[in-house]
Amino acid sequence: MTPTRVQLIDEAEELLEPRERALLGIARVLLGGALANGAALALTLLLALAGALRLWPGYFATAQGLLASGLTLAPDTAMAVVMLLLLADGGLLLVLMTGVLAREFWALPGLALLLLVNLAGLLLGGLTLAVVTLAPGAWALALSLREARSFRINPVMRKEFRGRMRGPRSFIVLTVYLGLMSAFTAMLYLVFGSGTVQGTGSAAIGAIGRVLFIGLVSIELLLILFIAPAFTAGAITGEREFGTWDLLQTTLLVRPALLIGKLESALGYILLLLFSSIPLQSIAFLFGGVTLAELVVSFALLSVTAIALGTLGIYFSAHTTRTLTASMRAYTVALGLLFGIPLLLNLPLFNAFVNAASGFGSGISASPVLEAIFVYVGFLLVSLNPVATALVTQQLLADRNVAGLWTLVLSSDGSTIPLVSPWISLVVFYLLISTILVALAVRRMRKVEA
């Protein structure tokens, strides 16, 4: 993203209709808000670092008083909340900016919701930095309300969805998908219900429930890994191959709208698959051993993974001319993300976070600063991988009953550092990555044949 201007629409000096100019103005305000959030995040991060390194003693207490006065948390944890808020706000403002440019119907309610949440944070939690989102957001909302008629259902999404749901194809896919999942569930039940899990009582039955649940979520993850890029890798290249790309380019359809429409239709179908398998997952509840929190977390993980892999496919689709190339690249990155990161997490130093989260101690005792750094590095790596995230989140739920904020005691000097359950950071990161990939894909598409 270049900070100076919105790169996602045709040139600013272009003769735009009043409405287009107004939308561009709204997008600029939102982009400004996103960048302000980014700047605020960088600043708080830098100050937190200074505070943590004892360069500024008492920083966290001061900062909490100023930025998060309403949170009854440890000062450093409160600052972690502030930073997470800034990151999420920045990402969501970018999403809304793209939505406004594409004239998506969800842009307005989405913006209103974001403002409400931030207002709640400001009033209830004393999160003063919510102003960074509230001010540009309110301005953009006021401007958008005047242009409310411009927002509509994306024509590309409508077209794609019509095509996708027509005929027996999509129903066959859904049936086969659910059939396979059911067969898998039955198999898991037969194998684990009869043999391996011995003993009586609710504990053993709960174990069956857990096995079913974990098995289903993993197989869904695997299916998403293969389905999501496949659905989107042909989004742009397919239009080129069909010979409709030129047609679309000569219409007034802006590129964000094309891209988002394609993404919406692909993700809509994947979400349909995910939703339709919730009843199967719920069978696990009959056996117990699975909490509602786990169900919610697993659904969130699966959804954002689908979104991220879907945008990955669309990104490569915009960058290549052939669907095959785009699919191969998307699969390569997706497989690297899913299977490469666990390899990295097994290396010494990089495994600090996983070890610490499992209660074994990070294995670094030389210096608390070094230990904290590697714990955070490991945490970031885990937050990029849905499998690792699911495992660690589950562990935290089981051991500490934590699904949100928690503190880790460093083994080197016994001091504590604030952390969040990795599913939260994964959701934020994946959404942020998706937004950036969409922005990059749009930029790429803007390139007119030289």
Q: Which parts of this chain interact with other proteins (CB under 8 A)?
A: 10, 13-16, 20, 152, 155-156, 158-159, 162-164, 166-167, 242-253, 448-450
Q: Which amino acid is at 12?
A: A
Quote the least distance from Cβ 162 to other proteins, whole Å: 6
Quote the least distance from Cβ 381 to other proteins, whole Å: 42
Decide whether 148 or 450 has the Cβ nearer to other proteins. Answer: 450
Quote the least distance from Cβ 242 to other proteins, whole Å: 6
Distance between CA atoms of 31 and 311, rounded to whole angstroms?
20
Two structure tokens written together for 349: 């130093």
> Which helix (H) or strand (E) element contains residue 436?
helix 422-446
Q: Between the CA of residue 52 and those of 47, 128, 402, 405, what are the distances in Å?
A: 8, 22, 24, 18
Distance between CA atoms of 144 and 360, rounded to whole angstroms?
52
Decide whether 243 or 348 has the Cβ nearer to other proteins. Answer: 243
- For residue 150, count other CB atoms closer than 10 A to its CB: 16
Quote the least distance from Cβ 450 to other proteins, whole Å: 6
DSSP states of 147-206: TGGG-B--HHHHHHHHHHHSSSHHHHHHHHHHHHHHHHHHHHHHHIIIIIS-S-SHHHHH
Quote the least distance from Cβ 445 to other proteins, whole Å: 13
Decide whether 59 or 231 has the Cβ nearer to other proteins. Answer: 231
Quote the least distance from Cβ 389 to other proteins, whole Å: 37
Decide whether 347 or 450 has the Cβ nearer to other proteins. Answer: 450
Decide whether 248 or 295 has the Cβ nearer to other proteins. Answer: 248
401 backbone dihedrals φ, ψ, rounded to 5°: 55, 45
Task: Please check whether residue 261 is in contact with residue 255, taking contact to mean a CB–CB distance below 8 angstroms.
Answer: no
Decide whether 197 or 253 has the Cβ nearer to other proteins. Answer: 253
The torsion region of residue 363 among left (phi > 0), alpha (psi -120 to 50) and beta comes to: left
Decide whether 153 or 176 has the Cβ nearer to other proteins. Answer: 153
Quote the least distance from Cβ 263 to other proteins, whole Å: 17
